[in-house]
Structure 1
Amino acid sequence: MGKKEEISAAITPALSNLGFYLEDVVITTAGRRSMITVIVDGDTHLSLDQVTQVTKAIGEIIENIQSLGQTPFTLEVTSPGIDRPLTKPRHWRKNINRLVKVVLFDGKEIKGRVRDSTQISATIDEQAINLSDIKRATLEIEFKQVGK
């Protein structure tokens, strides 16, 4: 088992107990120091307090992973960025009423608002789409117009 997998396996139960999901673990090395970035998500958007709570919960767990040895590391806990693709049913549920751009495997592109979501499909505006038909889906950034 690699370091990424070992860290993932060690921290997933603690994250689940707090009501969060592990999206990814990224390990980068610069000289003798490593940066361990843990990307965490929840059913709602994470607050700064929740990120702090997660950092405290998993920091000690990671420090006790034997395979990391005495290598110094910096732990960074973050939520997925706006550019992360929507790949799981819970990503769709979390982003109801948000604007998305979807590319289907047949090449068709759809841009619209997520209106509903199930384990197998998402409704964008009035169109139901099977999640298995989606090649890539991302959130679109929206800016509010001042004075309108």
Structure 2
Amino acid sequence: MPQPREDELAAQLREPLSEVGLLIEEIKINVAGSRRKLTVVVDIADESSTAPVSLDDISRATSAVEAALDPDEIFAGKPYTLEITSPGAVRELSEPRHYRRSAGRRLALRTVQGEALVARLRGVDDEGVDLHDEKADELHRLRFEEIESARVDLEFK
């Protein structure tokens, strides 16, 4: 029996995870010798929520994934490790919903022109983001296509 593909597993897990308020960010299958690992990265489905993925969310996701997958069909019935995780606090922001989930946070961005910017995310729409550079007390508007990379810049108080 061939190993399942990530896209097939994503299709199979999308609805059960949605029912517990989560969505799939990524699925990774790792086989190294006799070791097999299925990693499912989940995030909160509600784009307006800035709450992090909690341990309760991970527990609900684990139950949903275990109920949705037939262990005998994964890896031809051979034992494997299931890891349910979140994207983490400093993940790369690559989709508008990632920015929406980061509203109010300080971001470290690089524009396609090579400019580095650290600014607070004040707003997000379908076209781009509104930022406030607190150090220079300046407002910036960047369209998504102007952003080469962005991530949350952790603040320690």
CA distance in 2, matches of 1:105, 1:71: 46
Q: How does 1:109-128 map to 2 (within 5 A)?
A: 109-125=116-132, 126-128=139-141
Q: Percent identity of the aligned residues?
A: 30
Q: What is the TM-score when the length of structure 1 is the normalising length?
A: 0.88
CA distance in 1, matches of 2:28, 2:128: 29
CA distance in 2, matches of 1:66, 1:134: 41
For the residue of structure 2 that corresponds to 1:14, the secondary structure is helix
Q: How does 1:71-82 map to 2 (within 5 A)?
A: 71-82=78-89
CA distance in 2, matches of 1:114, 1:47: 23
CA distance in 2, matches of 1:102, 1:38: 27
For the residue of structure 2 that corresponds to 1:141, the secondary structure is coil
CA distance in 2, matches of 1:93, 1:28: 31
Q: Deviations over 1:37-87 (max 9, x none)?
A: 110001331111111001100113233573632121111111111231011
Which residue of 120, 124, 132 corresponds with 2:145? 132
How many residue pairs get aligned? The number is 144
Partner of 2:110: 103
Q: CA deviation at 1:134?
A: 1.0
Q: Which runs of 4+ in 1 moved over 4 A?
A: none
For the residue of structure 2 that corresponds to 1:22, the secondary structure is strand
RMSD of equivalent CA atoms: 1.8
- 2:77 is equivalent to residue 70 of structure 1: yes
CA distance in 2, matches of 1:101, 1:67: 39
Gaps of 5+ in 2: 133-138
